[in-house]
Structure 1
Amino acid sequence: MIGAVVLAAGKGTRLRSSRAKVLHEVAGRSLLGWALEALRPLDLDRVVVVVGHQADDVAAAAEAMDVPGLVTVLQEPQNGTGHAVRMAVEAGALDGLDEVLVLPGDVPGITTETLVRLRADRGDGAASVLTTRLDDPAGYGRIVRDDDGNVSAIVEHRDATDAQRAIDEVNTAMFAFRTPDLLDALSSLTTDNAQGEEYLTDTVAALSGDGGVRATEAAPDEVSGVNDMAQLAEVEAVLRQRILTRHMAAGVRIVDPATTYVDADVVIEADATVLPGTMLEGRTHIAAGATVGPHSRLVDTVVGEGATVTYTVATETRIGPEATVGPYTHLRTGTVLERGSKAGGFVEMKKAHIGEGSKVPHLSYVGDAEVGRGVNLGAGTITVNYDGFEKHTTTIGDGAFVGSDSMLVAPIDIGTGAFVGAGSTITTDVPADALVVERAQPRIIDGWAARRRARHERDHEREE
């Protein structure tokens, strides 16, 4: 049986944030979420997440990833990486496992492929350690090798000699252990070091005899950890570029990758086009032939085949095939646009269902509404859905026409094929195929404007 231990107990003091380090998000996932997602394809028998700072929140985030075999173990107090793994052992979380991967919860760039190499490179040895090489290795544990090239020790920067500090190969805090050997090595850990903590890295020296510890080297951008906000931004840039490259390789047209932000769980089908300044977040899905952007933000939104979305903010919305949205449009949670429908410039919708081929071209608010097929809502139409206490529904039948600058005061039903005259405020249901007009009787006063101007001129002369 094979398992993994993810170290997620730390506070992350240098981030200067009230949130636990591993809960910070990059490219649509928490740092912890990226680590767990890298483990998912390995089909592990058990995944142990060691929690400490903000334990309940971190445990909840881990469980939300729905990784099979996941358990959480509390480390309290937090006394080093070796202590964290020992807490997992003492909790029985490693019982029955023949092999254990150990990785930190704040290295979101790690890939499944590299973890597979790490396991394979262990071979029949006691352990393997993932390393990388840095131009400036200050602050990192140095990899010390023996004459055969195997790892003989990992020396933390604070404990290293000048000669060891000159080594550019560093520890990434990721390991593959044969479980019985790990248990033996953990029992020998002490806190006799500069930090006064139990270092997991000290197990390497205990296991290094007869070539017992191998090394697997990875690229620096894959194993970069996060210790401050600047590093958080750096790893996010790497992940976002990786995401965009994957989509472009699959046939997606991304016009300007430098200004395009796509979260990890977004799906974009081949032959879709994403224009500059666009942000696709959450579980947004863009179908083939659709065009999104420029300067649009879609969150958990589905865009159908051949649809066009321009200068738009949409959240939890479904935009049907060949629909047109924008510019400067806000689609809020629960909105559905059916095939060929339109939500035009300066239109806001909330929990509105717009039928096939229906048009809301501009300057309108449509909330809590059921709009049938082939309906036209003129400029300035508002569904008045809130009475100060409750929200109410407006229903508009197929083929209805609502003139510009009309107020439909819900709850209200505009019948199939009905016409609402421009400038009307409608408070009662309208039968099918009826015309409804509600306007004050116009009053025309001949000569009023000329008399008003003359009076103004006389008043102005007196003031002079």
Structure 2
Amino acid sequence: MYNCAIILAAGKGKRMKSSIPKVLHRVCGTEMVNIVIDVVKKAQIEDIDVVIGRGAEQVKEATKSRNVKYSFQNKQLGTGHAVLCASDFLKDKEGTAVIFTGDSPLIEEDVIEDMLNFHNKGRYKATILTSIVKDPNGYGRIIREKNGEVLKIIEHKDCSLEELKVNEINSGMYCFDIKELVESLNKLHNNNVQGEYYLTDVIEILKNKGERIGALPVSFEEIMGVNSRVQLSEAEKVMRNRINNVHMENGITLIDPNTTYIGLDVRIGKDTIIYPGNVIQGNTVIGENCILYPNSRIKDSVIENNVTIQSSVILESKVGENVTVGPFAYIRPESVIGNSVRIGDFVEIKKSIIGDKTKVSHLTYIGDAEVGNECNFGCGTVVVNYDGKVKNKTLIGDNSFIGCNTNLVSPVKVNNNTYIAAGSTITDEVPEGSLAIARAKQVNKKGWVYKKGLRK
């Protein structure tokens, strides 16, 4: 059976009070519309059309890696009009079209699969995903006949007093027989309070033809839409709880899940312990037996096994096994930290390679450098990589000892098995096996204080 999907993502989202299209607001680090696209694909639906309108170019840019098609809704004249704008996408197709909204990021793949199975098994021409709630205010109601069959969907503003008492609400998510959908879209009118073309009226059109309409109730959490910043925070909380529960079930210890923020695409190995206040984002992979003490941020990075991180930031980098990082370290993009390395407090690494067993213990900046194995950096070392025009490279060989308060002025090379005296400013190559001293000779002027009358 052929299945395709239409995702409605053209709305203005006025209640968000944002210059960003509503569907591009993020939940657990991922744009809502991309969450919906990814879930639909996990449900084995690959042919997806996104209906865009407000901020169309921004939405296309944000979703371009998802390999989807696009339809454009120039004016937002209702959900029926939005699907009508996807007519070219539906043309000559036979099978089932599922319709979702780009601002409902909590739908899960098993619910989509259940809806399709329910739709096909019942041989319905349309199936509505619904939910039964205590407070249906603001939602369209599912009106059923006495035998339980769906009669129609009616928008809240168009409800009678009796219809307002109904607690089964419309999610705005559907399955349709494609041919019946296309035919019904051409019969829509806008004779309602809003003056819009409702997709919900397709249900009534099909019903009047004598077609069977299915309705599958699910948890409200699955269908919850986001129309405001408050609802965005509620969706964030639900999604974060789901993500954290999966990690804990997979053998990760979260000391306080309520204050641990893990993105949708993050992978973590078993027996890793994560303390409160950690933010782990993007395509980050963390190995086994790691300890993340409070208040670190890690994004788009690979952290190997047995790594300890304290109150540090790691961005778009790789950290090898048995490494300690922090507290208060900053590993900037395109850095590669070898195995058994120590990156200590107030250390910044920028676009550099640090070899195995090297120690950079405190108050040091290393930028645009390649550092060998088993080196030691004294406190206050600075790789001076920028000359005001370009960033230059520094090469440091194996087993080098860099004394405290050393400046390595790039481009410069320090060969294997070298020592650099504390306080040196190195501008020339240091040969292998050498001690480099680059500082002024100390001069003591006896009695100078007394001669100047400066004694207190």
Correspondence for 2:439: 439
Q: Aligned pair 1:50/2:51, yes or no?
A: yes
Correspondence for 1:460: none
Q: Aligned pair 1:76/2:77, yes or no?
A: no
Post-superposition offset of 1:65? 2.1
Correspondence for 2:203: 204
Residues 317-340 of structure 1: per-residue CA shift (max 9 Å, x gap): 100000111000001011111000
Residues 192-234 of structure 1: per-residue CA shift (max 9 Å, x gap): 0111110001111122355711111111122110111111111
User: What is the 5 A alignment of 1:170-249?
Assistant: 170-208=169-207, 212-249=212-249
Correspondence for 1:140: 139
CA distance in structure 1 between the partners assigned to 2:233 and 2:116 by the alignment: 30
Post-superposition offset of 1:447? 3.9
User: What is the 5 A alignment of 1:267-278?
Assistant: 267-278=267-278
Structure 2 contact 15–227 (Cα < 8 Å) conserved? yes
Residues 1-56 of structure 1: per-residue CA shift (max 9 Å, x gap): 21111111111111110111111111121110111011012322521111111112
Post-superposition offset of 1:380? 0.5
Structure 1 contact 3–94 (Cα < 8 Å) conserved? no
Out of 115, 119, 130, which is 2:116 matched to?
119
Single out whichever of 208-217 and 382-391 deviates more from structure 2.
Answer: 208-217
Post-superposition offset of 1:135? 2.1
CA distance in structure 1 between the partners assigned to 2:358 and 2:337 by the alignment: 9
Structure 2 contact 449–455 (Cα < 8 Å) conserved? no
Correspondence for 1:462: none
Q: Which runs of 5+ in 2 are unaligned?
A: none
CA distance in structure 1 between the partners assigned to 2:327 and 2:62 by the alignment: 37
Q: Aligned pair 1:418/2:415, yes or no?
A: no
Post-superposition offset of 1:61? 2.3
Decide whether aligned partners of structure 1 residues 455 and 388 sit closer, same or farther in structure 2, where only a CA change above 3 A counts.
closer
Correspondence for 1:28: 29
Aligned residue type for 1:154: I
Post-superposition offset of 1:57? 1.8
Post-superposition offset of 1:441? 1.6
CA distance in structure 2 between the partners assigned to 1:111 and 1:257 by the alignment: 21
Post-superposition offset of 1:58? 1.3
Post-superposition offset of 1:173? 0.1
Structure 1 contact 130–218 (Cα < 8 Å) conserved? yes
Single out whichever of 135-144 and 101-110 deviates more from structure 2.
Answer: 135-144
Correspondence for 1:289: 289
Q: Aligned pair 1:315/2:315, yes or no?
A: yes
CA distance in structure 2 between the partners assigned to 1:92 and 1:250 by the alignment: 40
CA distance in structure 1 between the partners assigned to 2:381 and 2:99 by the alignment: 60
Q: Which runs of 5+ in 1 are unaligned?
A: 458-464
Post-superposition offset of 1:450? 5.8
Residues 256-308 of structure 1: per-residue CA shift (max 9 Å, x gap): 11110000011111111211110000111100111223110001011111111
How many residues align? The count is 452
TM-score normalised by the chain length of structure 1: 0.95
CA distance in structure 1 between the partners assigned to 2:140 and 2:232 by the alignment: 21
Q: Aligned pair 1:6/2:4, yes or no?
A: no
Post-superposition offset of 1:446? 2.9
Structure 2 contact 53–74 (Cα < 8 Å) conserved? yes
Single out whichever of 324-333 and 433-442 deviates more from structure 2.
Answer: 433-442
CA distance in structure 1 between the partners assigned to 2:136 and 2:126 by the alignment: 23
Post-superposition offset of 1:159? 0.3
Percent identical: 37
TM-score normalised by the chain length of structure 2: 0.96
CA distance in structure 1 between the partners assigned to 2:159 and 2:372 by the alignment: 73
CA distance in structure 2 between the partners assigned to 1:281 and 1:362 by the alignment: 26
Correspondence for 2:377: 377
Residues 391-426 of structure 1: per-residue CA shift (max 9 Å, x gap): 111111000100011101010001100000011111
Structure 1 contact 48–93 (Cα < 8 Å) conserved? no
CA distance in structure 2 between the partners assigned to 1:325 and 1:23 by the alignment: 34
* SS of aligned partner of 1:366: strand
Structure 1 contact 6–105 (Cα < 8 Å) conserved? yes
CA distance in structure 2 between the partners assigned to 1:174 and 1:445 by the alignment: 86
CA distance in structure 1 between the partners assigned to 2:345 and 2:323 by the alignment: 14
Aligned residue type for 2:298: L
Aligned residue type for 2:38: E
Structure 2 contact 255–273 (Cα < 8 Å) conserved? yes
User: What is the 5 A alignment of 1:37-116?
Assistant: 37-44=38-45, 46-66=47-67, 70-89=68-87, 91-116=88-113
Aligned residue type for 2:103: D
Structure 1 contact 272–290 (Cα < 8 Å) conserved? yes
CA distance in structure 1 between the partners assigned to 2:85 and 2:396 by the alignment: 63
* SS of aligned partner of 1:44: coil
Aligned residue type for 1:103: F
Structure 1 contact 137–169 (Cα < 8 Å) conserved? yes
Post-superposition offset of 1:448? 4.0
Decide whether aligned partners of structure 1 residues 451 and 224 sit closer, same or farther in structure 2, where only a CA change above 3 A counts.
farther
* SS of aligned partner of 2:130: strand
Residues 240-266 of structure 1: per-residue CA shift (max 9 Å, x gap): 111001111111111111110000011
Post-superposition offset of 1:451? 6.4
Aligned residue type for 2:205: A
CA distance in structure 2 between the partners assigned to 1:234 and 1:35 by the alignment: 17
Structure 2 contact 416–432 (Cα < 8 Å) conserved? yes
Aligned residue type for 1:76: N
